Amino acid sequence: MITIDDKELKRFEKDLLRFKKSAFPFASKTVLNNLAFESMKVSKNTIGSKMTLRNKFTQQSVRYEKTNTLDLSKQESRVGSIAPYMETQEMGGRKTKTGKVGVSIATGYSAGQEGSGTRTKLPTNSNKMKNIILNSRTKNAKSRKQRNFLLIKESAKDKKKFVYLDLGKTKGIFKLIGGKKNTKIKMVHSLSNKSVTIKKNEWLHPSVNKALDKKATFYKDALIFQLKRHKLFNQ
């Protein structure tokens, strides 16, 4: 049962329950579904303002499910994301990876937050993955510094856009900037950490609370609709 401390709403609710009790579950269902839809809409806006987005999927992953039953004890609408990582954003967590390469962490540069650089997406298919494969011509290098120097030089010569570099304490995927003679690098993904703590970045809970501010309006509209539908509304 939805309860709101408002005399007018109480009157509408009382009238509907007294004269057409069978219509009340329809009103209740409408309110829950409207709240879920509003929560979804607000959540998408919250995500857009709180997170750095590299595509539209994160916002589009937020969905809501309607309740269709008229059994008041079983009515339940839902809102959430189909993207697993959004639960981690909401609740916080820890990301761990085994092997020589650590957890991939996007840098500010990759998100277009440093300087005037544009956003950079890492290659995703096999044809582009050759851009970050270690060059075999560096295998005879006598030191890490020499190896990285040769790797950057050869990658620039081959017109590759990305290269994996092991700088000792720092490992990551770097973007090559400039020409063959004046090549600079910018890290786009850090691979230095084996384990990363992900802090809470709540997007769902505050959005639902904001949507609940409209509960009274939704409830009033739903009650009036049912009263009008059964010709019981006199105002």
Cβ neighbors of 36 (< 8 A, separation 6 or more) are: 64, 65, 66, 77, 78, 79
Question: Residue 91: its pLDDT value, please?
Answer: 86
Structural domain spans, the chain = 7-92+199-229, 96-196
Strand 184-190 to 105-106 pairing: antiparallel
Annotate 135-155 with b (16+ C-beta within 10 A) or e (fewer). beebeeeeeeeebbebbbbeb
**For each of the chain's 235 residues, which pLDDT tens digit applies?**
455 557 888 889 899 999 999 999 999 999 999 999 999 999 999 999 999 888 899 999 999 999 999 999 999 999 999 998 898 889 887 666 555 544 444 444 444 444 433 333 333 444 443 444 444 455 566 677 778 787 778 877 777 788 777 777 777 788 888 777 778 888 777 776 666 677 889 999 999 999 999 999 999 999 999 999 999 877 6
Of the candidates 122, 128, 170, 164, which has an alpha carbon nearest to the alpha carbon of residue 147? Answer: 164
The two structure tokens encoding residue 16: 């509907």
Question: Residue 71: its pLDDT value, please?
Answer: 93
Cβ neighbors of 119 (< 8 A, separation 6 or more) are: 54, 110, 111, 112
Residue type, 193: N
How is 205-225 classified by DSSP, letter by letter?
HHHHHHHGGGHHHHHHHHHHH
The two structure tokens encoding residue 119: 């956003």
Question: Residue 61: its pLDDT value, please?
Answer: 94
Question: Residue 131: its pLDDT value, please?
Answer: 41
Instruction: Tell me the whole-structure pTM to 2 decimals.
Output: 0.60
Question: Residue 31: its pLDDT value, please?
Answer: 94
